[in-house]
Amino acid sequence: ETAVFQTPNYHVTQVGNEVSFNCKQTLGHDTMYWYKQDSKKLLKIMFSYNNKQLIVNETVPRRFSPQSSDKAHLNLRIKSVEPEDSAVYLCASSYRLGGRYTGQLYFGEGSKLTVL
């Protein structure tokens, strides 16, 4: 069943505009992630976040920023999009078992961004 919800599923915009993608999970997980999947299907971690810690992949440009109001929500903001930002952005969540991350991710359906 779908338990990680992303909106919008599609967005077309022009270079220089600001874009935001929203993500909500109803699984009660404490950690959320944003992954970028490019046209070759390569999946790359962008951000890892729980209510205490944010880890940013060093390759992520500064125009990208995560925003969270609580542990069930992790949004992604792109301040000024570039053509290379065209991709599918996937939100995921995970949980710990006995204090350790299981590595089992639950993904949303993805948000496809097209930058003209």
Partner 1 sequence: AQKVTQTQTSISVVEKTTVTMDCVYETRDSSYFLFWYKQTASGEIVFLIRQDSYKKENATVGHYSLNFQKPKSSIGLIITATQIEDSAVYFCAMREGEGSALGRLHFGAGTQLIVIP
Instruction: Considering the complex, state which of residue 15 and residue 43 has its C-beta at the smaller distance from partner 1.
Output: 43
Tell me if 48 contacts partner 1 by CB under 8 A.
yes
DSSP state of 83: G
Binding piece for partner 1, criterion CB under 8 A, among 15-23, 58-66, 71-79, 107-115: 107-115
Tell me if 87 contacts partner 1 by CB under 8 A.
no
CB atoms within 10 A of CB 9: 12
CB atoms within 10 A of CB 19: 21
Closest listed residue to residue 30, CA positions, set 95, 99, 97, 75:
95
The residues of the shown chain that bind partner 1, judged by CB under 8 A, are 31, 33, 40-45, 48-50, 53, 55, 88, 90, 94, 96, 100-107, 109-110
